[in-house]
Structure formats: structure tokens, C-alpha cells
Amino acid sequence: MIIIMKPGASKDSVQYIASYIQEKGLQAHVSTGSEVTIIGVVGDKTRIQGDNLEIFEGVERVVAVTESYKLSNRKFHPEPSTIRVGSYEIGPRTLTIMAGPCAIESRDQLMQTARGVRAAGAALVRGGAYKPRTSPYSFQGLEEEGLQYMKEAREETGCAVICEVTSARAIENAVKYVDMLQIGARNMQNFELLKEAGRAGLPVLLKRGLSATIDEWLNAAEYIMAEGNENVVLCERGIRTFETATRNTLDLSAVPVLKEKTHLPVIVDPSHATGVRAYVAPLAKAAVAAGADGLMIEVHPNPEKALSDGPQSLTIPQFQTLCQELKPYALLAGRQF
């Protein structure tokens, strides 16, 4: 449930109700907006069943929340969240670009890419040190060696760095080197991994599962947030449908739907969605027009020789061109880029 306070309700009234809820063994999440303060209640509601919260001083009304996700719910937190990653922000005022290779193959490959994407305007360098592949015989990543290269890329370029994690051990290693953790599509409902990521202390990028509904996706985010980490960013990367012209089907309708349902930032990955280099730029522009807070773009200095996802990766010059083309879209959306 949520408790909506009257406009101008005193801080003492808000604190009294929050303390009352906590004394009952529930969690109270206070969200202070420009006009109204909301107190979200999480836990076993039978503990306050029959309590007339409506008559408490400063309360305007009490509203039941029927969705199973609470902390990620916009009803709990009406204002859109801004998530800080390193020295950068992901939220309603910015268009945050994450770019880099699908897999870190060598120091030279990553550093060359990091320099190129930073010069073009990327805020975060992405790179895969742990690669969950469909085939067990495909390249699985450099693991901690790759993470060390990511730290070096951050130190040289000033970009924040993000890497996918696939296990508790990967998280334990990654937190020593990167600024943000990524949970990939295959692990969206790996609930133990989500809990570990929530306890890691770093912002988390959560990709949509291959066939996940939006509500399932938001419940996955809830697992991370329930561990005390509210710094979650959602990433639409296409879903599995009957269509074979593209690798997946990019669900751009998810962006406005999520903006209505959750306060969490939403970015779009057109590279994994399409699997085709030629489609990345037009869908990146469409994502910005749809209201996305950022983009994740795969970039490789020599896609023809990439060990993972070469056909969908842009070259560094192609990425630089795309960033220039995105600037008027960001301006129209009222975002800094």
C-alpha cells in the first residue's frame, strides 16, 4: 500500500507514520516530491490490518498497490529516478551512451575502442569479461584479466565502466574494477544472482529476458532493490518472437509502458535487438524519440574479426557518425548529451 500525505504535511507527521510502520515490522519508503510526499509500505500488511491510518495527522488517503513489485513501482516513487554511475547520471535529463565490444578480447582491442567511443561522446565503456554463450565451445571471455583492462580504460578515458556478471564469483571480482554491474537477458530470472547483485553495492543494469513480460522484468528488478540497492537501470534488448529478419524483436513500446509503471531509468540496446549493423542507427534514434534515457551500442575496431557479435557491432567511425546524428534527437527530447 501507499500512504499519500496532504500537501504541506509536516516532516514530523511523515516521520511519525514511518516510525509507526517500522515498529509494526514493515518497511517504510518515503518519497518526497515537489508537491506531495508518499510513504510506501512493504511487508505483511496483516500486521496493520484494521489500523485506521487515514485518521493519522497529515494523511490524505491510503491506496492499495495491486502489483507484486513495490519498490520499483511508480506509485511508490512518482518522480523519475536518476542513477549515478561514476561521475555520470542516467535519468530524465540526460541521454547516456554506453558503448564498447561485446567481448573483451585483448588490452589493445579494449583500449582502442574505449578511446574511440569516449571521443565520440560515450559516458560508459561496456565490455564483456564473462560471456554466457549459447554454445559451450564459443569464446567465454577473459574474466578477471578483462576486468583489469576495464579499470585501465576508466583511468585513461574518464569513462565509467560496466561489465556483465554471471555468478557470485564474477560479482566478487567485478566490484574491484567496474562502476556498474550488468545482469544479462539469460540471467534476468536468476534470483540468487539478482540478490547477490543487490548486495554488491554498485548500480545494476538489468536486461530484459528473452521472453519476459514487463511485469516479470519489474519483479526481477524488485529482487535487486529488496536487498537495499535502489540504483537499478532497465535495458530493453529485444524479445524472442516468430520474426527471423532480426536477431530479436525490439519492443520500443516497452519504453513508454515502463515510464508509466516505474520510476527507474530505461535504456535501449539496438545492437542485441537486431543483430544487424545496418539497423542499429535507425533504431537508436527511434529509442531516443520514444523516451529512452540512454543507449547501449556495440562497437569494435574490427568487427569482421570479432570473437563475439561482430555482425551487429559498429566500427569506431560508424559510432562517431551515429553520435553526431543523435544530437538533434537528444535536443528535441530536452536531454543533455
Phi, psi at residue 180, to the nearest 5°?
A: -150, 140
Question: What residues does each domain of the chain span?
Answer: 2-63, 83-332
Res. 141 pLDDT band, cuts 50 70 90: confident
Sign of CA dihedral 292, 42, 217, 177: positive
46: left (phi over 0), alpha (psi -120 to 50) or beta: alpha
Superfamily of domain 2-63: Phospho-2-dehydro-3-deoxyheptonate aldolase; domain 1 (3.30.70.1140)
Grid cell, residue 130, equals 564473462
Distance from C-alpha of 56 to C-alpha of 221, rounded to nearest angstrom:
32
139 pLDDT above the threshold of 80: no
Cβ-proximal residues to 213 (8 Å cutoff; 6+ apart), any chain: none
Distance from C-alpha of 97 to C-alpha of 151, rounded to nearest angstrom:
18
Residues 22-54: tens digit of each pLDDT = 999 999 999 888 778 999 999 888 889 888 899
pLDDT at 140: 66
SS3 8: coil
Res. 120 pLDDT band, cuts 50 70 90: very high
pLDDT at 218: 98
Residues 171-230: tens digit of each pLDDT = 999 999 999 999 999 999 999 999 999 999 999 999 999 999 999 999 999 999 999 999
pLDDT at 35: 79
Distance from C-alpha of 322 to C-alpha of 270, rounded to nearest angstrom:
12
- Fold match between domain 2-63 and domain 83-332: no
Query: Which pTM does this prediction carry?
Result: 0.92
324 pLDDT above the threshold of 70: yes
Count the Cβ atoms, other than its own, within 10 Å of residue 154: 19
Residues 67-116: tens digit of each pLDDT = 999 999 999 999 999 999 999 999 999 999 999 999 999 999 999 999 99
Residues 245-266: tens digit of each pLDDT = 999 999 999 999 999 999 999 9
Grid cell, residue 229, equals 540497492
278 pLDDT above the threshold of 90: yes
308 pLDDT above the threshold of 90: no
How wide is the angle at C-alpha 296 spanned by C-alphas 295 and 298, nearest 5°? 140
Residue 322 carries which DSSP code? H
Grid cell, residue 337, equals 548529451
Q: To which residue does cell 554471471 refer? A: 166
Q: How many residues does the chain have?
A: 337
Cβ-proximal residues to 33 (8 Å cutoff; 6+ apart), any chain: 78, 79
Count the Cβ atoms, other than its own, within 10 Å of residue 115: 17
Q: For residue 15, what are the CA distances in angstroms to 7, 31, 58, 69?
A: 15, 12, 11, 24
SS3 305: helix
Distance from C-alpha of 62 to C-alpha of 123, rounded to nearest angstrom:
41
**CATH number for the domain formed by residue range(s) 83-332:** 3.20.20.70
